[in-house]
Structure 1
């Protein structure tokens, strides 16, 4: 019997959530489709109805994580009562809060996207989903005179790529596991963002400084 069309996204999400749990438990490279099938109770045919490969599951997981982040951030971006600087500060704070809540899985993805293939997919997906939100704040800031850039969308694109491209650095593990290196990285990132927008770097924080 064919599955109802409106049940497809629900079951796909269910399978994706189970697969993410397996990736965390065993590690992505060690996890197999059979592990996912055993944990989910799905048949192999049912699995391939939703995903063509384990790699496609990972890509979908990256996109889902970014979708969740955007859903979490969008109310701040669209809040008509907030000025651009307040939106910017809150955007950075909420981004940090979201990442902290998803820290374990984000750390796993961070290791995986050091692969050129996955890093490219991640950066492209992040740009498509997050740049328009960030650009909206920057544009408002330019109009209010608090940000000093010529091209809000292009500036947002560059900054988001800088931020999300960090896991691709060969020094990523050192940044994450050495407090002093992490501090220097975060201060440097804050300086880049502040310098680009033309604001004081002491007015905001990045991640969980």
Structure 2
């Protein structure tokens, strides 16, 4: 029993990664628990030992993604040698790098974001985890005189929600596949975020 308890976190993560691959291959809505069981080589009883449902498994996947994002972004936030502007540029650049490393999974998220319930859960989790980090940078920028913002936390939430809403766009597939449309969208997003912070849009790394 002790050995099972000790291996529980490792086995749970293994099952989560397998499920993510199945989601990306078949699509979340098209995937049944039996599909995951077949690839994982486990029984239904074993599956329910780790997750109560497919929905809970997906939420765990989002949590895992957010954990990885926080670990990747935190160094920029906590670097005391950087100005707020430098932190902001690094935060946005690192966020882009992180998302690029998860591009295949991001395509899945883009499809899932079309569902209102999933979009709500994803945006809520993302806001809860990422907004406080960006708010810290904005507060520093206000103190240093670089950002023209009255409410840093609320501004951080608006920026994060704006960026996270991209996959929900009716033109998302075009932005992914058409480089010219992507350039225009990125430029528009830079202008929106730059205007919100009162900085040069060119300093907004997307």
**TM above 0.5:** yes
Q: Distance in 2 between matches of 1:50 and 1:3?
A: 15
Q: Distance in 2 between matches of 1:83 and 1:167?
A: 31
Where does the alignment leave 5 or more consecutive residues of structure 2 unmatched?
Answer: none
Q: Distance in 2 between matches of 1:5 and 1:83?
A: 45
- How far the C-alpha of 1:9 sits from its partner, in A, is 2.4
Q: Distance in 1 between matches of 2:9 and 2:146?
A: 42
- How far the C-alpha of 1:43 sits from its partner, in A, is 1.8
- How far the C-alpha of 1:52 sits from its partner, in A, is 1.5
Q: Distance in 1 between matches of 2:193 and 2:91?
A: 13
- Matched residue, 1:142: 142
Q: Distance in 1 between matches of 2:137 and 2:7?
A: 36
TM-score, normalised to structure 1, is: 0.93
Where does the alignment leave 5 or more consecutive residues of structure 1 unmatched?
Answer: none
- How far the C-alpha of 1:4 sits from its partner, in A, is 4.6
- Matched residue, 2:95: 95
Moved over 3 A (4+): 1-7
Q: CA RMSD in A?
A: 1.5
* Aligned: 1:104 with 2:112: no
* Aligned: 1:35 with 2:19: no
CA contact (8 A) 2:193 2:204 kept: no
- Matched residue, 2:182: 182
- How far the C-alpha of 1:58 sits from its partner, in A, is 1.6
What pairs with 1:62-101 in structure 2 (closer than 5 Å)?
62-101=62-101
TM-score, normalised to structure 2, is: 0.94
- How far the C-alpha of 1:6 sits from its partner, in A, is 4.4
